[in-house]
Structure 1
Amino acid sequence: MGRFGGFLVGFAALSLVAGSVFTGGQASADPGIDAVGCAMRSGREPARAEPEQVGLDSARLADALAFASTRNRLNIQVFRHNCLIGEGPANAQTGNVPWNIWSATKSIVSLLAGIAWDRGKLDISAPIDEYLPPGLGDAEHRSITVQNLLTETSGMKVGVLTEGVTGVVPIEPDSAVQALGVPLDNPPGTVFSYSQRNVDLLSYVIELAVGEPLQQFAQRELFDPLGIQRGDYYWARDRAGHTYGYAHLMIPPNDFAKLGLLVSNDGRWGAQHIVSTEYLRQAREPSPANRCYGYLFWRGPGCAESAHSLPSDVYMMSGLGLQDVFIIPSLDLTVVWTGFYGNVSRYGLTGTIQNIDELPHEFFRRLFAAFHSPPMPDPGAYVEPPLQLNPGQFIDPNFVLAVFGAGPFAYPGCNVLACANTALAPPFADTAPGCAILVCLGPGAPGIR
């Protein structure tokens, strides 16, 4: 959910969980290995290389991986030139198990928006009025553009914890319709505000634009070409059947890594172009309202989970508890990890959740030291900043009241019993076997077989 967006949701979740194929590759920062790279694979096993083949020292890389594994990184994958060169010690046990990537889901929604834009089905500059059914939402909300939703500049009021809690405990009727009842704090397009409802509304708009359920479109256009099978993952939907955009894609880390590699290769997967380079170029550009944010991707050092010591071209998929894909084009380097926090803070639990730079700072410090030609000077040990917290940014009970049809955020005619003349499934009806909040486990649960 981003740097501060997941603070109190993290607290709530914590309380609930006590062989290489070489082809021509991209240019490298290391001399003498410019032509080395691995072919993309849609099968279950990625292409691999020894660290020394791509300019890193095996022992120092192993030290970086061992460090991350002591900080609650349950799965760690390091790729250079598309070659898997390093894995965490628990990868064999965790790589095929679906894990909630939380707000990294937003970046997957961005990819789907890009595919729809590439197909001529979605106009990024258009107001969502062009896609919403007649009579749904007022003129102010219908004037929000698709680009406003992609850049988190819809203007909607924010209460990160209370926006998300009714998705974690799936009682809410229709998240997109509820978004249309959230007051606007700012005119659309003017101010960055990290809204969860914003992305649920975007998912619904994409669904309307392509004319089919979002997950059906995603499976055919995005997941199938990468070899991600429908039974691999669980992506939660609300009781109206609309897919959550803000979080709740539970996907195995080995599949999550494929999505990261797709992005790091500018939307190409072998000979196939799945998402256009032009869209991804726009997605990585900072929005006028926030230098750290593009189209549902974080970008730049010191933004979200990115350490200040990283190269200037770094960009990320980023989710609560440090579910991350770090992509550094200048190094042709992609790092994917999942877990649940694990960073160390002198401020205890509150600092662990808020000051999340410690883990990436210390990991990348070790990783860059493994390069034969270190790409960055050693930044020194992490120095933790003081805590900065505005609880009002995260909690607004009106979001919860709206689910029950009460309070100023309620959309007329939408509550836990009925919503906008749409039949609602019972609570928990969409939940897949064995899937709960963080992970899918057990017989019959989704996962790579």
Structure 2
Amino acid sequence: MKRSLPFMLWILLITQIANGQGYYFPDRNAKWAQGVGVSQTFKPKELREAIRFAEQNEYSGSRDLRIAILKGFEREPFHEILGPTKKRGGPAGMILKSGYKVAAWGDTKRVDMTFSVTKSFLSTMAGLAADQKLIASINDTVAQYIWDGTFEGNHNSKITWEHLLQQNSAWSGELWGGKDWADRPPREGGIDDWKFKKPVEPGTVMEYNDVRVNVLAYALTHVWRKPLPMVLKEELMDKIGASTTWRWHGYEHAWTEIDGVKMKSVTGGGHSGGGIFISAEDMARFGLLFLNDGKWKQDQLISKDWIAQAVTPSAPNPNYGYMWWLNKKGGRHWEGLSENIFYAAGFGGNFIIVDPDHDLVVVTRWLEPNKVGEFMRLVNAALR
């Protein structure tokens, strides 16, 4: 009888996992459980090959991220470091199956910059605002909420929250010293061409642009009436048992006043410094929350409806939702992998990848970005 109980538990766990149930949610500071039988869903040799690939294909940029940032964006006019940076560690990552740790490599507790992975956290702040009715509709114009001139004029007044979330707002202006036209300019043309080009109609063209992302962060700060790092901590990170080590920074001079209180408006990325500094383990927790449709244990922290919206392709770009990349057919499609995969992606090879079809969350740090599709195919090949 004593020998049969563990066996029966093992059978129950495998049955639950097969039915997409029985997710494991680690408590704060707990050793991440590997789970009985979960490792049986992977082929050990192939799994080791995938991890070795991640370790051997480190991002080629400098480990001094200040140098890597300046080199990576050297073609942008007026580009400079405006927020904090941090020297990075080596390759690291985790693979979770149904919440259980299948594999880990590198220092998964090390806090590093995460660059545009921050955008997926930022869009979630909009989701929480929508869930709590601080924003009545994501299709409302932002000018209905932010009336200080940021969204005035014939063009900017048309911009909705959804346009900002899908990065197709074409917002025109300057924020914290950053000019929209100077951020990631086209390969052709020069300053006069970029500066005086008429903006396209909101909602028609997706343009990756950190100034416009920071406008979203600014607008959400005013909607929440408190700093977004505080919102993230109270509404999500504490509730999913994240560590106390992560930070969310803005530019040194990015201060606004709300209700007589001076507060920092954070950035949605790190290409001028700032953004979220976080460990691979805390990134994995965030991914696990999205894998389970916004539910952590028994608590629905983000609505399922919001997550469904967030991973719906935008009209201008089938590979982009609400600041989550989508593995749909398009320019960023990973061949041979599920089209239901969605992921957060940041400069230098930082990824939080969610694969609902296989109950997987995969986190990578400092993987050469053009190798991530090949890495995920190796992970996929390791599944039994």
CA deviation map 1:235-286 (0-9, x unaligned): 1112122111234211111111111111111111111111111000011000
Aligned twin of 1:106: 119
SS at the partner of 1:84? strand
Relative to the length of structure 1, the TM-score reads: 0.64
Task: Classify 1:65/1:294 alpha carbon distance in 2 versus 1 (closer, same or farther; 3 Å).
Answer: same
Residue 182 (structure 1) shift: 10
Change (3 A) 1:257 1:35: closer
Give the 3-state SS of the residue equivalent to 2:91 in structure 1: strand
Q: How far apart are residue 133 of structure 1 and its match?
A: 3.4
Following TM superposition, where does structure 1 have runs of at least 4 consecutive aligned residues deviating by more than 4 angstroms? Answer: 21-28, 50-54, 157-162, 181-184, 301-306
| Counterpart contact for 1:40–1:47, Cα < 8 Å | no
1:46 alignment partner in structure 2: 32
Q: Given that residues 51 and 86 in structure 1 are in contact (C-alpha distance below 8 angstroms), is that contact kept between their aligned partners in structure 2?
A: no
Aligned to 1:289: 316
Deviations 1:162-215 (A, max 9, x none): 538xxxxxxxxxxxxxxxx99762111121111111111111111111221211
Q: Are the structure 2 counterparts of residues 42 and 133 from structure 1 closer, same or farther at C-alpha, using a change threshold of 3 Å?
A: farther
Partner of 1:447: none
Indicate conservation of the 8 Å contact 2:352/2:362, yes or no: yes
Q: What corresponds to 2:341 in structure 1?
A: 314
Q: Residue deviations 1:422-449, cap 9 Å, x none?
A: xxxxxxxxxxxxxxxxxxxxxxxxxxxx
Query: Is residue 51–residue 58 contact of structure 1 (8 Å, CA) maintained in 2?
Result: no
1:334 correspondence with 2:361 = yes
Matching residue's letter, 1:285: T
Residue among 42, 45, 48 paired with 1:59: 45
1:150 and 1:295 in contact (8 A); partners too: yes
Residue 116 of structure 1 corresponds to: 129
Residues 301 and 308 in structure 1, CA contact (< 8 A), matched pair in contact too: no
Q: What is the rounded CA distance, in whole Å, between the counterparts of 2:284 and 2:331 in structure 1?
A: 19
Sequence identity percentage: 23
Superposed CA deviations along residues 277-305 of structure 1, whole A, max 9, x for unmatched, are 10000110001111111111010157687
Cα distance change on mapping 1:136 and 1:199 into 2, 3 Å = closer
Q: Deviations over 1:60-118 (max 9, x none)?
A: 21121112111126112111111110111x2xxx2222111111100001111111110
| Cα distance between partner residues in 1 of 2:151 and 2:267 | 19
Matching residue within 151, 176, 183 for 1:163: 183
Tell me the TM-score normalized by structure 2: 0.74
CA distance in 2 between counterparts of 1:112 and 1:95 reads 25
For residue 75 of structure 2, what is the aligned residue in structure 1? none
Could you tell me which runs of 5 or more consecutive residues in structure 2 were left unpaired when the two chains were aligned. 1-8, 59-89, 174-178, 185-194, 256-263
* 1:24 CA drift (Å): 6.8
> 1:134, CA displacement in angstroms?
3.6
| Unpaired segments ≥5 residues, structure 1 | 1-20, 165-180, 342-355, 373-449
State the partner residue of 1:380: none
2:144 matched residue in structure 1: 130
